[in-house]
Amino acid sequence: MIYNGPLPKCKYTATETPTIICTAETIGAVKSHRILQILLDSGSRKTLIKHSALPRGTTKQKKLNTTKTLKTLAGNVAATEVVTLRDIILPEFDKNGRVDEQKALVFDSPCRYDIIFGTDFLSIIKININYETGLMEWYVCILPLRDPFTIDKEYYQDMEDAMHVQIKEELPGEDWLDNYATDILDAKYSKTVVNDVVKQQSHLSASQKKTFWNC
């Protein structure tokens, strides 16, 4: 759910964390049809993805020269590979906005989250996590922190099933998550002749029009 207006201060508790969902068109150059559980972690320098969240057949991981160990809100994780996520959507914030790409270190240790977005992601797209108010802010879109233990696997499975049904049957109209994402088409513009436009500006003097013609 997206909140677009001012909200009262939320009472933050220790169990509430900045967790959301996301999708990615491809992970490691392979199409992904999963709903991914996300932790927004301003304490982690890098973005990480759990190995089990990689689509089957992913072969575009790049081996790191050395193992990297990072501290996160979910604990310490060790990464040995890096992969690229493309066309990332955070539908709870903005169903139409897309992040072109993000590199993520691949880890293979127990974790309830599929992806941990670190400051390399958060600082670029300008997501602000405010623990004082208990809110996550992305420009005018605001979400409350939530208790991750209240979101079980069945919840994600239901969303995935709905998304898969729509993809398979190409359902028109509303999609699996309230008009989840609509294509943003390139604007089309007709060619404009500057001199013709200047001639139509009756409020300009002859000398002023001449200035534009000489530009």
DSSP string across 159-215: HHHHHHHHHHHT--SS-TTSS-----PPP------HHHHHHT-TTS-HHHHHHHHT-
For residue 25, pLDDT over 50 is answered with yes
Confidence of residue 120 (pLDDT cuts 50, 70, 90): very high
Closest CA to 25 of 167, 157, 203, 191: 167
Q: Average per-residue pLDDT in the chain?
A: 76
Confidence of residue 127 (pLDDT cuts 50, 70, 90): very high
Q: Going by C-beta distance under 8 Å and a sequence separation of 6 or more, which residues neighbour residue 209?
A: 198, 199, 201
Q: What is the average per-residue pLDDT within 118-142?
A: 93
* Token pair belonging to 125: 């797209």
Stronger pLDDT, 183 or 208, i.e. the higher one: 208
State the pLDDT at residue 177.
53
For residue 137, pLDDT over 90 is answered with yes
3-state secondary structure of 128: strand
For residue 183, pLDDT over 50 is answered with no
pTM of the predicted protein model: 0.67
